[in-house]
Amino acid sequence: MSELSPTSRALRTLEILQARPGVTADQLAERLGVTDRAARRYVAILREAGIPVESTRGRYGGYTLGRGLRLPPLVFSATEALGLVMAALDGHHAAADAQDPVGSALGKILRVLPQNVGRQATLMREHAQAVPARRTARPDPATTAALVAAVAAQERVEIGYRSPTGTPRDFRVDPWAVVVRHGLWYLLCHAQHVDAVRTYRVDRVRDVRPTGERCEVPGDLDPVAALETHLASGWEFDTRVVVHGPYAEVAPYVRPVMGRLEPLGDDRCLLVGSTSNPRMYAGEWLAGLPFELRVEGGPELRAGVAEVADRMSRALGEG
């Protein structure tokens, strides 16, 4: 089970107190999966937030919510609602699962939001397939809200984008979905300038400008599957690498962003994709594969591998 954030545990504590008045510290700790001391700390967080939690000592004592407690109505802007979904997904990766405690609580919040706000937040949650990753990049909630609103309205937008090298560019796109994958947030869209499907990192989107033009989203679109297919395509430099190892052993090490992995017989695989940063592809992704490799192309990737290999050789010093 993924680690819950303090805020998520405090909300879970409130839910337990509502469902089981008189719950003891030991029982609360067991349900939260923490120590007794930690359980008392989450009760203290609720009290600091102004929620009256009463405690009774003795054999039949425990925690109860104060009489007359009424939680205030939830009034969120679209940006706040999406920010809440983003925070839940970032802090607890099973929040997209309605059977998960945090996912269940998040679903309750989404159901009581106004339709125009809740629909956008629900779309993002449905397109979230978050998994733990070593590298994450948190996008701006307002920018993400603008993109999700465009997806919901099926409206073409212009985005200001910053490439991995920092180069600013502007694109006119038909937004299809905002998808969470491997700890990163992506815009899946149809790019007008190339008339093809493209994926853009949401944390690199500088601004979103509505055009007032309608766009069509494919009726049979599976956002997650489409993202996986196109995540490693469309970048400046082609990559082609032969990996010496059985497909079943190599596949767990290859992230979709690296390209498409195909078996070549019983003991080799072919990894085909593209990148905008050959040195990063060579030094981080290829170097992390625990298999023998043969880099067939393109020339930029071969040059990147040679540069990384030379730098590593120099790191050993003479002799």
Bridge partners (DSSP) listed for residue 275:
237
**What CATH number is attached to the domain comprising 60?**
1.10.10.10
- Ordered DSSP codes for 265-302: SSSEEEEEEEES-HHHIIIIIITT--SEEEEEE-HHHH
For residue range 197-225, list pLDDT tens digits in order. 888 889 999 999 999 999 998 888 888 77
Distance CA 11, CA 221 (A): 35
Do residues 127 and 209 both lie within one domain? yes
CA torsion sign for 40, 46, 49, 55 is negative
| Residue 214 and residue 143 share a domain | yes
Supply the CATH number for residue 289's domain.
3.30.70
**Domain-embedded: residue 1:** no
The CATH number covering residue 149 comes to 2.30.30.520
Q: What is the pTM assigned to this prediction? A: 0.52
Q: Let me know whether 209 and 244 are in one domain.
A: no
Residue range of the domain that includes 259: 237-315
Q: Are residues 215 and 280 in the same domain?
A: no
70 located within any domain: no
Asked if 208 and 147 touch (Cβ cutoff 8 Å), the reply is yes
* Cα gap 317→319, rounded to integer Å: 6
Measured CA to CA in angstroms, residue 167 lies from 9, 161, 206, 314 at distances of 41, 8, 12, 31
Q: Is 284 inside any structural domain? A: yes
Question: Is 123 in the same domain as 43?
Answer: no
pLDDT at residue 134, rounded to an integer = 43
> According to the model, what pLDDT value does residue 87 have?
63
Query: Does 268 map to a domain?
Result: yes
- One domain for residues 295 and 151: no
Which residues of the chain, if any, have pLDDT below 70?
A: 1-8, 58-60, 67-103, 105-106, 108-121, 123-137, 182-183, 231-234, 318-319
Distances (CA, A) of 241 to 246, 254, 278, 301, 302: 14, 12, 13, 10, 10
Q: Quick check: 34 and 26 in contact, CB under 8 A? A: no
Of the three residues 213, 230, 247, the one that is the final residue of a domain is: 230
Instruction: Give the end of a domain, one of 230, 257, 279.
Output: 230
Cis peptide upstream of residue 212 (ω within 30 degrees of 0): no
| Domain end point (choices 167, 202, 230) | 230
> Is residue 251 domain-shared with residue 192, that is, in the same domain?
no
